[in-house]
C-alpha cells in the first residue's frame, strides 16, 4: 500500500472516531438533561440552549440527535421568561430564529460581539480584540468590493444598450462570503463574484433581451469557444 493510501486510511479512521465520540457525547448530554427534567422539572437553560444548537450538527440517520433538538426547542419556546435575564432571552430568540450552524459567520460575528458586550461578566480585553478583528476583516471585504466595483465598471456591461442587466455585484460578493469568509480566501471570493456576475448577465440576455434566433447563434458561439479551449 502506498504512503498516500496509508494517509487516506488514517484520515478516514480519525474522522470516523471523531464522529463517534461527538455523537456519543451529545447523546449522553441529551439523556442527562432529559432525565433531570422528568425527575424534578429542572434544567439549566444554557445547557438546553447548547443542546439545541448541537443537534443541528446531526447527519442523516442520527435520530437521537434529531429527538434532542425537538426536545430542546420545545422547552426553550415555553420557558418562564420572567425568570430570565434580557440578555439570555435575546440569545434564545436569536437561536430559535435560526441556529448557529445555519448562519453566515461573517454576519453573525457582529451580533455575537454586541450580545457578549451586554453580559454581566465581560472580559474587556477579549471584547476589544474581537472588535478589532471584526473591523480588520471588514476592511478586507470593503477593499475587495472596491476592486470588484472597478472591474465591473470597466467591463461597461451596464450601458444603455444593456440597461436590462441586473446590477448584483454586492449581492454576489455577499453570496461568496457565505462559504469563503476567511480573509485568506480573498482570491476565491473575487473569482466567485466575477463568475456569478457574468452568469447573471448571460441569464438576463437569455430571459429578457435576445430573440430565439439570436440566442441560438449566441449559444453556438459559446459552445464553439468551449470546444476550442478543450482542444487547446
DSSP assignment of 75-141, as one string? HHHT--GGGS-HHHHHHHHHHHHS-GGGS-HHHHHHHHHHHHHTSSS--HHHHHHHHHHHHHHHHHH
Domain count within the chain: 2
Q: Which helix (H) or strand (E) holds 62?
A: none
Residue 181 near residue 138 (C-beta atoms within 8 A): no
Question: Where a domain ends, among 99, 128, 151?
Answer: 99
pLDDT in tens, 103-142: 888 888 999 999 999 888 899 999 999 999 999 999 999 9
| Per-residue confidence (pLDDT) for residue 25, from 0 to 100 | 66
| Per-residue confidence (pLDDT) for residue 189, from 0 to 100 | 96
| Per-residue confidence (pLDDT) for residue 36, from 0 to 100 | 62
| Per-residue confidence (pLDDT) for residue 57, from 0 to 100 | 80
Based on the fold, state whether residues 150 and 95 are members of the same structural domain.
Answer: no
Distance, in Å, from the CA atom of 128 to the CA atom of 133, rounded to the nearest integer, reads: 9
Q: Which of 176, 108, 110 is nearest to 141 (CA)?
A: 176
Residue 105 lies in a domain: no
Based on the fold, state whether residues 13 and 89 are members of the same structural domain.
Answer: yes
Residue 70 lies in a domain: yes
| Per-residue confidence (pLDDT) for residue 226, from 0 to 100 | 62
Residue 174 lies in a domain: yes
Question: Where a domain ends, among 67, 99, 131?
Answer: 99
Q: Give the three-state DSSP class for 45.
A: helix
Based on the fold, state whether residues 90 and 17 are members of the same structural domain.
Answer: yes
**Domain range for residue 26?**
3-99
Regions of the chain with pLDDT less than 50: 1-7, 9-21, 41, 232
Amino acid at each position: 500500500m502506498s504512503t498516500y493510501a496509508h494517509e487516506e486510511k488514517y484520515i478516514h479512521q480519525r474522522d470516523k472516531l471523531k464522529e463517534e465520540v461527538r455523537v456519543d457525547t451529545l447523546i449522553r448530554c441529551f439523556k442527562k438533561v432529559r432525565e433531570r427534567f422528568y425527575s424534578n422539572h429542572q434544567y439549566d437553560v444554557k445547557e438546553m440552549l447548547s443542546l439545541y444548537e448541537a443537534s443541528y450538527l446531526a447527519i442523516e440517520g442520527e435520530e437521537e440527535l434529531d429527538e434532542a433538538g425537538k426536545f430542546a426547542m420545545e422547552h426553550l419556546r415555553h420557558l418562564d421568561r420572567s425568570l430570565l435575564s434580557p440578555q439570555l432571552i435575546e440569545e434564545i430568540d436569536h437561536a430559535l430564529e435560526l441556529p448557529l450552524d445555519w448562519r453566515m459567520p461573517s454576519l453573525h460575528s457582529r451580533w455575537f460581539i454586541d450580545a457578549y458586550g451586554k453580559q454581566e461578566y465581560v472580559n474587556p480585553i477579549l471584547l476589544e480584540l474581537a472588535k478589532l478583528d471584526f473591523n480588520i476583516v471588514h476592511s478586507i471585504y470593503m477593499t475587495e468590493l472596491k476592486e470588484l466595483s472597478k472591474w465591473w465598471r470597466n467591463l461597461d456591461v451596464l450601458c444603455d444598450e444593456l440597461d436590462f442587466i441586473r446590477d448584483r455585484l454586492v449581492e454576489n460578493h455577499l453570496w461568496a462570503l457565505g462559504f469563503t469568509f476567511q480573509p485568506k480566501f480573498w482570491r476565491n471570493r473575487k473569482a466567485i463574484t466575477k463568475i456569478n456576475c457574468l452568469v447573471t448577465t448571460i441569464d438576463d440576455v437569455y430571459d429578457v433581451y435576445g430573440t430565439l434566433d439570436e440566442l441560438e447563434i449566441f449559444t453556438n458561439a459559446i459552445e464553439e469557444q468551449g470546444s476550442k479551449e478543450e482542444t487547446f
